[in-house]
Amino acid sequence: MIVVVGAGLAGLSTAYHLNRPYWICERDLEAGGLCRSYEVKGFTFDMTGHLLHFRQAEIKTLVEGLLEGKLERHVRRSFIYSHRTYTEYPFQVNTYGLPPEVVRDCLLGFIATLAKTQAGPPQNQSFKAWILDNLGEGIAKHFMVPFNEKLWQVPLDELTSDWVSWLIPKPEVKDVINGALGIKDKAFGYNPTFLYPKRGGIDALPKAFLPRVPDIQYGTELVELDTQRRRATVRTGQNGSQVLEYEQLVSTIPIPELIRRCTDLPKDIREAAEGLRCVSVYSVNLGVARERVTDMHWIYFPEPDYPFYRAGFPMNFSPGLGPAGCSSLYVEISHQPTEIMAKDDVLERVRAGLERADIFRAKDEIIAAEVRDIRYAYVLFDRHRARVLPAILLELERRGIHSIGRYGRWEHTSMEDAIGQGKKLAEQLNGQALVHPRSAASVLGRAGANP
């Protein structure tokens, strides 16, 4: 009687924790969603860098149990490349080594923020105002604004700041000054260490759920929802379709996609969902015939000379992900969902940018190259989202639809959060009485043609 749509981490975790009948479908032919790996010419690539950071002890314990002995802990080696200089991440406490006038701008700007009073609760502040108020003009100018505008593809005063506090903590003045002088006495940021599978890429994580979630209906796409009668139509294969009756439906697909599939929601909800914005990302995976093109784990690129905002080096945290004597890279380029670039152009721009940054040499041979477009990558925390999202989620809940996961809740969250949301929801559903405890979902009918 519970239908779960999507077998990414949120859907897998829901099914894993449910102790009552469920029916789970996945549009693709394998589970994992964004958290997947694939092979090209001897290299194993994730969709793009997917590293495990934990803030919730119970999810860490769960994942460590699922992947017992298969995870390795790494101390982050992440850097920012600007002014042809590498500085350690996070920028605000590591300006040592940048041109003196840049360091001065950053220090004076930060010190000026200490005299300011807080402009109000974060939800009332734009992201740009938050940056200026908390980090100051220098750090804004030399990193935070150009980097984030490259990532989010919109002016930062269009974004809210309610999501930034755990990602970008405001440093203490002592740390900013130490960072400008090159004195290191502690680790910063939400991810000073991370875990990653020793072998096989991040794919190991969704695969670890599968023995307890055996009956996923692959190649099965939710295409229509009659929310009044609680009926879901799914498309199976080329022409087949199936109508399922459910009591509760757990959706982990992007909210706008879900709402478009509902036949009977009020107009204001449908219009509100259409107005939700996100950016897409070209995930560019490369295998190159040279060992250890760098020692770093990943690098941020704030400057417009480089089309990508981040590049990472998977073989530096899991050497088995490629052939001996080679290096692998993931490179991420944000773009508006409607602005599509030819894959060859993407590759050309990436190669040129990596050469400009001295990561690639002109004679480096690229053995493997794969460009994938992640249509829903980063949701925009804009004022429209803040205004309409609670009403959309509430309307869905009223109709027995629980929308969870990164794109189901339309938020900026991690693998840990997707797993945590699935667990929490399953526990909540486990505690509810079943109205029709007969089967996972009643199949009302099958049709030969698409609905």
Residues contributing to the site for ligand FAD (CB under 6 A): 5-11, 25-28, 33-35, 48-51, 221-222, 252-253, 257, 281, 332, 374, 377, 405-407, 413-416, 418
The least CB distance from residue 414 to ligand FAD, in Å, is: 3
Is 5 or 180 the residue whose CB approaches ligand FAD more closely? Answer: 5
Is 109 or 312 the residue whose CB approaches ligand FAD more closely? Answer: 312
Is 142 or 231 the residue whose CB approaches ligand FAD more closely? Answer: 231
Q: How many CA atoms lie within 13 A of 273 on its CB side?
A: 24
Is 133 or 221 the residue whose CB approaches ligand FAD more closely? Answer: 221
Helix axes of 100-114 and 173-181: crossing angle, nearest 10 degrees: 170
Distance CA 73, CA 1 (A): 40
Q: What angle do CA 147, 148, 154 make, to 5 degrees?
A: 125
Distance CA 89, CA 82 (A): 12
Torsion (CA) 33, 36, 39, 44 in degrees, nearest 10: 160
The least CB distance from residue 13 to ligand FAD, in Å, is: 8
Is 273 or 377 the residue whose CB approaches ligand FAD more closely? Answer: 377
The least CB distance from residue 282 to ligand FAD, in Å, is: 10
Distance CA 295, CA 281 (A): 25
Distance CA 38, CA 99 (A): 41
Distance CA 259, CA 283 (A): 27
The least CB distance from residue 354 to ligand FAD, in Å, is: 18
Distance CA 420, CA 425 (A): 9
- Residue 264 burial (CB count, 10 A): 10
DSSP code of residue 140: I
Distance CA 118, CA 126 (A): 13
The least CB distance from residue 418 to ligand FAD, in Å, is: 4
- Residue 51 burial (CB count, 10 A): 21
Is 192 or 323 the residue whose CB approaches ligand FAD more closely? Answer: 192
Structure tokens at 61: 């314990």
Distance CA 233, CA 221 (A): 8
The least CB distance from residue 104 to ligand FAD, in Å, is: 34
Beta bridge partners of 8: 32
Measured CA distances, 32 to 38, 161, 218, 301, 370 (Å): 11, 30, 12, 28, 19
Beta bridge partners of 25: 5, 217
The least CB distance from residue 352 to ligand FAD, in Å, is: 21
Is 70 or 83 the residue whose CB approaches ligand FAD more closely? Answer: 70
DSSP code of residue 449: S
Distance CA 400, CA 406 (A): 19
Is 100 or 214 the residue whose CB approaches ligand FAD more closely? Answer: 214
The least CB distance from residue 357 to ligand FAD, in Å, is: 19
Is 142 or 409 the residue whose CB approaches ligand FAD more closely? Answer: 409
The least CB distance from residue 142 to ligand FAD, in Å, is: 24
> 3-state DSSP call for residue 403?
strand
> 3-state DSSP call for residue 100?
helix
Parallel, antiparallel, or unpaired for β 248-251 and 401-403? Answer: parallel
The least CB distance from residue 167 to ligand FAD, in Å, is: 12
Is 11 or 136 the residue whose CB approaches ligand FAD more closely? Answer: 11
